[in-house]
Amino acid sequence: MCPFCSGREKQTPPEVMAVRTGDTQPDGPGWKVRVVPNKYPAFGPADGVLEESGHGHFHHTMNAIGVHEVLVSSPNHQHDLGDLPLSQVRYVVDTMVERYKANKTLSCVEYLLLIHNHGRDAGASLEHPHSQLFGFPLVPSAVADEIEGMARYRSEWGKCAFCHMIEIEQADAIRMVFENDGFATFAPFASSVPFETWIVPKHHSARFEEMTEINRAEFAEALKDLTSRISRGLNDPPFNFYIHTGPTKAAPALDYHWHLELVPKLTIAAGFELGSHISINVRAPEDAAEFLRSSLSGPDTGKSASPGCAQ
């Protein structure tokens, strides 16, 4: 009784957008990608007024106004991005960009975070493949820290840290997984978890939603490629990915470099990781990249050799 399958459109809140064929009607079958408000939103409403309070100066709170949308990847209940046709992944990417743009101007939204949970152990409560867009009234530290670090890097070394990273990864080659004209996919140096892999635009760009038509086609190709390699190579593991992009209200000239980070859930963050914020990664990114480079070379049997990496 999956509420995201075609024919069950009434089980979700009314759609806010869909890619549809012919003259099909909203909240009925005939869609390719469908976007609905999350039935149990983490943030909302979008027209709420920010209320901040504190216990003296110690306990600071704000209400969780914002948006929380679900982007259903396709009517297909089984196939996630790696198994869908490239044309369908392109619809997903176009939808992501459109929803970014639609929510970006909301006064309550300081940041839009697009994420994808695949598999129950990665936190996907519904199996039917979908992404989620969270809009909320602050810039998360995960992104603020990157922006600050990149500013420090530029002041010290005179260039964008991510642009430089791509140069180094291309020269080193050992952590590179896939490239097309617009994007580089690689296992980052000193990655946090086994098979962590990033997709980074080759041309300096602060904002995901400013991709050109050509960029979107290239990004869809890179996204399908990576999720295919992960799913086929590692026997359909649980994984998460998320997109780090410029905050919605940042100045147009913001010096940032958007990218996607994918983290398979093959190991457990335990006391050491939680207590230190240091990761013990049992699979070197150089090994992971070598494995992923060859993971599409065999036939797609739906099964594969164990990577031997779960700790």
Kindly list the residues in this chain that would bind a second copy in the complex (CB under 8 A): 42, 55-59, 61, 111, 113, 115-117, 121-125, 132, 134, 136, 140-143, 157, 164-165, 168, 172, 189-190, 240-244, 261, 263, 268-272, 274-278, 280, 311
Give yes or no: 130 in active site: yes
Q: How far is the CB of 102 from a second copy (least distance, A)?
A: 20
Q: How far apart, in Å, are the Cα atoms of 105 and each of 19, 38, 221, 306? A: 22, 19, 28, 46
Q: How far is the CB of 269 from a second copy (least distance, A)?
A: 7
Count other C-beta atoms under 10 Å from residue 149's C-beta: 11
- The answer to whether 218 touches 180, Cβ cutoff 8 Å, is yes
Q: Which is nearer to a second copy, 31 or 219 (CB)?
A: 219
- Active-site choice (68, 116, 128, 130): 130
Q: Which is nearer to a second copy, 115 or 305 (CB)?
A: 115
Q: What is the DSSP string of 211-231?
A: --HHHHHHHHHHHHHHHHHHH
Q: How far is the CB of 42 from a second copy (least distance, A)?
A: 6
* Residue 36, strand partner residues: 70
H-assigned helices in 20-121: 86-104
Q: Which is nearer to a second copy, 9 or 257 (CB)?
A: 257
Q: How far is the CB of 164 from a second copy (least distance, A)?
A: 7
- The answer to whether 185 touches 177, Cβ cutoff 8 Å, is yes
Distance, CA of 157 to chain centre: 29
- The answer to whether 112 touches 84, Cβ cutoff 8 Å, is no
Q: Which is nearer to a second copy, 182 or 285 (CB)?
A: 285
So which residues are the catalytic ones?
130
